[in-house]
Amino acid sequence: MSYLEKKSVAIGVGGGIAVYKVCELARQLMKRGANVRVVMTRNAQEFVAPLTFQALTGNPVLTDLFDPQQDATFGHLVTGKLADLFIVAPATANLIARIRAGMADDVVTTSLLAATCPILIAPAMNTAMWENPITQGNLQALLADARYRVVGPAAGALAEKTEGMGRLSEPPDIVEAAEACLAPQDLKGWKVLVTAGPTREHLDPVRYLSNPSSGRMGFAIARAAAQRGAQVTLVSGPSELRAPAGVHLVKITSAQEMADATLSRLPGSQLFVAAAAVADQRPEKRAGQKVKKQEGPETQVLVRTPDILASAAAAVAGDGPHRPLLVGFAAETERVVEQAREKLRRKQVDLIAANDVTRIDAGFAVDTNRLTLVDCTGRTQELPCQSKSDAADALLVRAGQLRRELGLIG
């Protein structure tokens, strides 16, 4: 499920080279079920014709305050009034200044002034303009109003062949921020710590012990928690995935590094979710150079890695009701629920999400999962096969309930 499903999203398009990316943004919002209406400044139309947005969204595009035909189909007041979310992209320095000043001198500023919904600003401009205290002051003044949020800008190559801060955020990042604007903010005030991905235990610089975890399940949990208002730290082993918007990503390689990064960040958290597939063993010795083949049988001595989840449980055991809720995962190939229950008891955690990794639609490196939630109150809840983002939301809902049932506070 997407929070954009069946929502009316207005995009106020400013005049900057990044307008071409907003075409893709409109497409991605629609893919998630939003009805998209576009309002363009005169300068924006110098970069992309309104017809492009009309063809992409299937809705007329508002470009002129004084065109009777446009006003009859959907005027500037209607656009703002109907919208569940208003995105300004690219928000140029000029457009941000005009919004801050409360101006209503074209279709975009007039529609925005009449809007009562959340407004997401996606700035894009030259680095010096972005860093100019006037622009920063204008943006901060808007953000002082809780209805306004900002996404980006990103750093990278800019139109005038320079590198720096000021690129429009990529469409998937703007979509993620849009989802967050519409999500329930039930985790506001929470600090959430999540582990994800595999760990790699090196034998030498080019060989390691690992597993097929892609990080998708843990990243989905981090993203869902951030969208619902939590302050999220994600400690991840090697993964191809982008950091979810608003999530602090800490990249590690080995189980020991994951343990160090996680346990030092645990105090003050309300929720710890261990979704990582941590290697249980590592080679006793790591060679400094690539090991050469030898004649005859070869032996590797393996030693245990730290159990991060069990160590977390031991670390917070004395904190009473101020401790975080502890959630683990169990990747099992047989007696899934029974083994999850045994893990719950052995690791002294509150909730285990068990996945049967023999199924092709669950577990490692697929987009879906089938979780069975086993908790310390004795309850077992079987969830359907669903996307990892929906599974993440369901897990967070149960975590919230369980915190209340266990009387955890803070």
| Distance of alpha carbon 202 from the chain centroid | 30
Q: Which two tokens stand for residue 246?
A: 């608003």
Q: Are 150 and 96 in contact (CB under 8 A)?
A: no
CB of 112 to ligand PMT, least distance (A): 39
Residues with catalytic function: 211
The answer to whether residue 309 forms part of the interface with ligand PMT (CB under 6 A) is: yes
Report the alpha-carbon distance of residue 119 to residue 102 in Å, rounded: 14
The answer to whether residue 266 forms part of the interface with ligand PMT (CB under 6 A) is: no
Selected from 70, 233, 305, 372, the binder of ligand PMT by CB under 6 A is 305
The answer to whether residue 38 forms part of the interface with ligand PMT (CB under 6 A) is: no
Q: Are 351 and 374 in contact (CB under 8 A)?
A: yes
Selected from 41, 109, 213, 233, the binder of ligand PMT by CB under 6 A is 213
The answer to whether residue 376 forms part of the interface with ligand PMT (CB under 6 A) is: no
Residues 185-204 interacting with ligand PMT (rule: CB under 6 A): 195, 197
Strands 386-387 and 368-369: antiparallel
The answer to whether residue 330 forms part of the interface with ligand PMT (CB under 6 A) is: yes
Strands 119-123 and 85-91: parallel
The answer to whether residue 215 forms part of the interface with ligand PMT (CB under 6 A) is: yes
- As a dihedral over the C-alpha atoms of residue 255, residue 259, residue 265, residue 269, rounded to 10 degrees, the angle is 100
Strands 271-274 and 325-332: parallel
Selected from 89, 180, 181, 308, the binder of ligand PMT by CB under 6 A is 308
Element (DSSP H or E) covering residue 39:
strand 35-40
CB of 325 to ligand PMT, least distance (A): 13
The answer to whether residue 278 forms part of the interface with ligand PMT (CB under 6 A) is: yes
**How many residues in total does the chain contain?**
410
The answer to whether residue 228 forms part of the interface with ligand PMT (CB under 6 A) is: no
The residue among 153 and 218 lying less far from ligand PMT, judged by its C-beta, is 218
Q: Are 324 and 272 in contact (CB under 8 A)?
A: yes
Query: Nearest-CA neighbor of 115 among 68, 141, 148?
Result: 148
CB of 333 to ligand PMT, least distance (A): 10
Strands 201-204 and 207-209: antiparallel
Q: Candidates 64-72, 118-126, 209-217, 228-236: pick the segment binding ligand PMT (CB under 6 A).
A: 209-217
CB of 220 to ligand PMT, least distance (A): 8
330: β partners: 354
Number of residues located near ligand PMT, criterion CB under 6 A: 28
Binding interface with ligand PMT (CB under 6 A): 195, 197, 213-217, 255, 274-278, 280, 305, 307-309, 328-331, 343, 355, 357, 363-365
